Structures are given as structure tokens and as C-alpha cells.
Amino acid sequence: MQQEITIVKRMSNIKHKIAVMSGKGGVGKTTIAVNLATAFALKNYKTGLMDVDLHGPDIPHMLGVENAILEQSTNGILPLKVRDNLEVMSIEFMLPSKGSPIIWRGPKKTGAIRQFLSDVDWGKLDVLVVDNPPGTGDEPLTVLQSINQLDGVVMVTTPQAVAGEDVRKCVNMVKGLNIPIIGVIENMSGFTCPHCKQEINIFGKGEGKKLAEELDIHYLGSLPLDTTVRKDSDQGKPFLLHDSKSDISKKFMEIFSKIENRIKK
């Protein structure tokens, strides 16, 4: 009960809360969460990024802060300041060593996420972005049920029909809990050959739009496959900071504006 009250208090200090989710693994949730938080920070929103992927916490690597050591305040654990306006929290910071796995069953995972929500001292934030593991299991369910007044979920899919099938389940879970879906992004949508400049639809095209129409949710846009995205992630840098004028950055900022407008409404 006390924990519940603390979570509500902490979350009430945060104006907007967005969860990034997908029914499918490896579709780019973390990449999108990192760049979404970066975009908010660049636009002067005081932003937090919380990684609740307990089994595969990739945020610290993608932000180049894997070896960070956290500090405490009198009010809880302080998130790590990554750059101006951007703070981050991940279970990875608490593991004894790189490569240590989390081998927990459901109740322990739920408890850990709730502890995250109650013990981390974010202070006052404009936006909190929460990166989730794939699927409809303990972690996303705990996030959806524990964060009061979640603005909504940014759903990520890739263009394959198999991704669409899994994402449909995730959308229905969110809808079943009466939480808004901000919209769906189709990632890894087409690849422009650097040699012949022709577009090759490696994973197909159009599943995001199709899902949006079928499930009556907003379509936020698509992002192509781009080798710089993968390289930047591996090197611990959001692609938005690599080159804000690149095609992928421009496309991302169009999606960002739609998300920004939707949460402001």
C-alpha cells in the first residue's frame, strides 16, 4: 500500500509518460525509445528514460553509459544524467558485472519494476519514456498497471506479417486495459541500396498502416533500414545526434512531432 502511494506520488511529478512496446522482439523498440527520449531532451523537455527490459537491458549500451555508478539522494536512487535534459535508469546499472543475467520468475520481476517506480528519484520531469521488452508478459503488464495516467503507448512493428500478428495481440492487451495507444511506427521499412539507389523491401512494406486501419489506431509513420542506425546503436550513440539532417533523422523527427502533438492534446 505504502509502495503504491509512493509510485502514484512519483509519477504525479511527471507530466507525460509514454511506454514503447511491441508484441515482437528485435523490431527496434529500444532504438526508438532512445531516440524519442533524445528528441524530447533536444527540444528542452526535462526527460527520463526508464529501461524495464530486465532480461535484455540495452539502453545503457545504446547510450554509451554501461559502466555508470548510481548515486543516492535522501529521497531515493538518482537516475544517471546522460546529457542536458536526459536522465536514465536501467537494471543494468545494478548488476554485479556485465554479462550477469537476471534469472527471475514473474512475481520477482513485477516486484523489481514496482520498486524501480517507487525508489527512483526522478524529481519533476516533463516526459518519461519507458522501454519495454517484447510481448505481453510481466514487464509490460506491470508498467501498464502501475504507472498512473500513462499518456499512452507507442507501438513498434516491422513490416512482416508475423510481426503484425504479434503486435496485434499487444495492441489488444493495451486496449483491454483502457490505455490509449499513441500510434504505431513501422520500423525497418524498406532499404535503399547505396549502390543502385533502388528501394528493396527486405521485410515487406505496409504492415504498420494495415494494423493501424484494422485496429483503429493512429499511424505515426515508417523508418527505413539504415546501416548507420545499427552502427550508432552499437557505438552507444542515438542516430539523431550523429546527423540531425540525415534522411532517417528527418523521418524520425516527423514521427516525433506527431507524438509530441498527440500527448499535448
**Which residues form the interface with ligand ATP (CB under 6 A)?**
22, 25-31, 53, 56, 58, 133-134, 187-188, 223, 225-226, 229-230, 233
**CA-to-CA distance for 43 and 134, rounded, in angstroms?**
28
Q: Which residue is nearest to Mg ion (CB)?
A: 30
C-beta of 5: minimal distance to ligand ATP in Å?
A: 31
Q: Check residue 157 for interaction with Mg ion (CB under 5 A).
A: no
Q: Check residue 90 for interaction with Mg ion (CB under 5 A).
A: no
C-beta of 123: minimal distance to Mg ion in Å?
A: 26
C-beta of 212: minimal distance to ligand ATP in Å?
A: 19
C-beta of 252: minimal distance to Mg ion in Å?
A: 17
C-beta of 22: minimal distance to ligand ATP in Å?
A: 6
**CA-to-CA distance for 114 and 110, rounded, in angstroms?**
6
Site residues (CB under 5 A) for Mg ion, limited to 12-51: 29-30
User: Which partner, ligand ATP, Mg ion, none, binds residue 225 by CB below 5 to 8 Å per kind?
Assistant: ligand ATP
**CA-to-CA distance for 10 and 123, rounded, in angstroms?**
7
The residue type found at 149 is Q
User: Which partner, ligand ATP, Mg ion, none, binds residue 31 by CB below 5 to 8 Å per kind?
Assistant: ligand ATP
C-beta of 243: minimal distance to ligand ATP in Å?
A: 14
**CA-to-CA distance for 215 and 171, rounded, in angstroms?**
8
User: Which partner, ligand ATP, Mg ion, none, binds residue 118 by CB below 5 to 8 Å per kind?
Assistant: none
User: Which partner, ligand ATP, Mg ion, none, binds residue 187 by CB below 5 to 8 Å per kind?
Assistant: ligand ATP
User: Which partner, ligand ATP, Mg ion, none, binds residue 157 by CB below 5 to 8 Å per kind?
Assistant: none
Q: Check residue 132 for interaction with Mg ion (CB under 5 A).
A: no
User: Which partner, ligand ATP, Mg ion, none, binds residue 134 by CB below 5 to 8 Å per kind?
Assistant: ligand ATP
Q: Which is nearer to ligand ATP, 3 or 192 (by Cβ)?
A: 192
Binding site for Mg ion (CB under 5 A): 29-30, 58
